């Protein structure tokens, strides 16, 4: 099981030293608005577990058939009733499935951790670079070069406030190959259960390689039986 700490710290493999509350506060104070919005906001706090958050995954690549899949997060209250929540993921299905362990008492939505972990592993496999290098580059860009702007999205038939975070974390990095042109957009809204409305990664066509777009979009919720799972 992934134990309690911020998603950002887990994604960067750098937990807060000592675990002291003052150190945690100092670390959050030093974070950029984009970091705070993605990884230090209690995205699950307004949920009423047990329930399941459903997301639609889609990959579109020039010259190939699109790929559609599902991601499901089973959200349950912690056994001790202190904090939120215990999240069991089903991240994609069939040959694409990734066996991520449950996450407990994260400050943010652990979907972000799982999605970014998968992304860095895919980039590592495609380029021969290490997942750690891609994670660190992403973290650095999120701290120093990400843009956060207010927006509106359509949800449940109405327009609701949202925030959009955009960044190109590998820009100018020759070792990333064509992925130095990869662009990310994260759309968050308190009106959406779990707060994550969409995650989108775009890679433009370069040379003989076609454009690629991957997205994860909120698809709904489902009630779960009390005490099951």
- Give the Cα separation of 160 and 200 in Å (integer): 19
- The answer to whether position 189 is within a domain reads yes
- The answer to whether position 46 is within a domain reads yes
* Residue 108 · residue 6 · CB < 8 Å: yes
Instruction: Compute the average pLDDT of residues 167-192.
Output: 97
Whether the predicted pLDDT of 87 surpasses 60: yes
- The answer to whether position 1 is within a domain reads no
Calculated CA dihedral for residues 83, 92, 51, 159, nearest 10 degrees: 90
Whether the predicted pLDDT of 145 surpasses 60: yes
pLDDT tens-place string over residues 117-140: 999 999 999 999 999 999 999 999
- The answer to whether position 228 is within a domain reads no
- The answer to whether position 229 is within a domain reads no
- The answer to whether position 160 is within a domain reads yes
Range of the domain at 102: 7-223
Tell if the pTM clears 0.95, that is, is over it: no
- The answer to whether position 2 is within a domain reads no
Count of domains observed in the chain: 1
pLDDT band at 207 (very low <50, low <70, confident <90, very high): confident
From the list 38, 42, 111, the residue with the least C-alpha distance to 83 is 42
- The answer to whether position 199 is within a domain reads yes
Whether the predicted pLDDT of 14 surpasses 70: no
């Amino acid at each position: 099981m992934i134990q309690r700490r911020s998603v950002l710290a887990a994604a960067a493999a750098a937990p807060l030293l000592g675990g002291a509350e003052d150190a945690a506060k100092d670390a959050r104070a030093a974070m950029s608005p984009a970091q705070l919005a993605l990884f230090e906001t209690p995205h699950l706090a307004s949920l009423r577990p047990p329930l399941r958050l459903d997301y639609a995954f889609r990959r579109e690549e020039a010259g190939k058939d699109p790929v559609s899949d599902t991601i499901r997060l089973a959200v349950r209250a912690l056994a001790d009733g202190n904090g939120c929540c215990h999240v069991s993921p089903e991240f994609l299905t069939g040959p694409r499935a990734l066996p991520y362990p449950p996450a407990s008492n994260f400050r943010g939505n652990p979907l972000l951790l799982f999605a970014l972990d998968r992304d860095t592993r895919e980039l590592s496999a495609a380029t021969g670079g290490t997942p750690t290098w891609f994670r660190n580059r992403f973290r650095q860009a999120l701290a120093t070069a990400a843009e956060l702007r207010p927006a509106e999205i359509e949800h449940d038939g109405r327009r609701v406030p949202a925030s959009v975070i955009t960044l190109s974390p590998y820009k100018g990095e020759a070792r990333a190959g064509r992925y130095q042109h990869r662009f990310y957009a994260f759309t968050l809204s308190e009106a959406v259960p779990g707060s994550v409305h969409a995650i989108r990664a775009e890679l433009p066509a370069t040379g003989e390689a076609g454009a690629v777009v991957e997205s994860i979009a909120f698809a709904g919720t489902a009630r779960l039986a009390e005490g099951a799972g």
